[in-house]
Amino acid sequence: MFKEFKEFIARGNVLDMAIGIIMGSAFTAIVTSVVDDLLMPIIAGLTAGVNYEDLVISIGGATLKIGNLINAIISFIIIAFVLFLIVKSLNGLHKKKEEPVVETEKTCPYCKSKIDIEATRCPKCTSKLENYSNELE
């Protein structure tokens, strides 16, 4: 049983998952700091210092903390937007360069059929093509 457990732990996908969780935790700390330390103070300043945590609704004997919900929604939207910007910028960095298109066909000037770029005679109309360039017309 110990041997099977050791093999399970040593599998690549388990290690990849563990690394992903650890990296996700570290990334969460960065995003949370950006939102809490940089963006939320700006939003608080723009909303004239309104503290949403103080907003509560009392129904019967229950107290509903609507302010906490509003803060959570605002934080979610900001975090989603920050993540969107990060992913968008990373995708831009990883964008593959487009390879140049190599032409493999040309058009016969007589019958207008597509033929191999290196052909000297059209297989459809048997016209000689040696005086024509190898570019598509």
CA pair distance 19, 32, nearest whole angstrom = 20
Q: What pLDDT is stored for residue 104 in this prediction?
A: 86
pLDDT in tens, 14-31: 778 888 899 888 888 888
Q: What pLDDT is stored for residue 117 in this prediction?
A: 86
Q: Which residues, in sequence order, are bridge partners of residue 107?
A: 114
pTM: 0.47
Q: How confident is the model at residue 136 (pLDDT cuts 50, 70, 90)?
A: very low
Q: What pLDDT is stored for residue 116 in this prediction?
A: 87
Q: What pLDDT is stored for residue 49 in this prediction?
A: 67
Length of the chain in terms of residues written:
137
Q: What pLDDT is stored for residue 137 in this prediction?
A: 43
Q: What pLDDT is stored for residue 12 in this prediction?
A: 67
Q: Which two tokens stand for residue 44?
A: 């608080």
Q: Which two tokens stand for residue 3?
A: 């041997």
Torsion of CA 124, 128, 130, 132, to 10 degrees: -70
Q: Would the pLDDT of 108 be above 60?
A: yes
Contacts of 37 (CB under 8 A, 6+ apart): none
pLDDT in tens, 30-85: 888 887 888 777 877 777 766 777 788 889 889 898 888 888 888 888 888 888 88
CB 135 within 8 A of CB 105: no
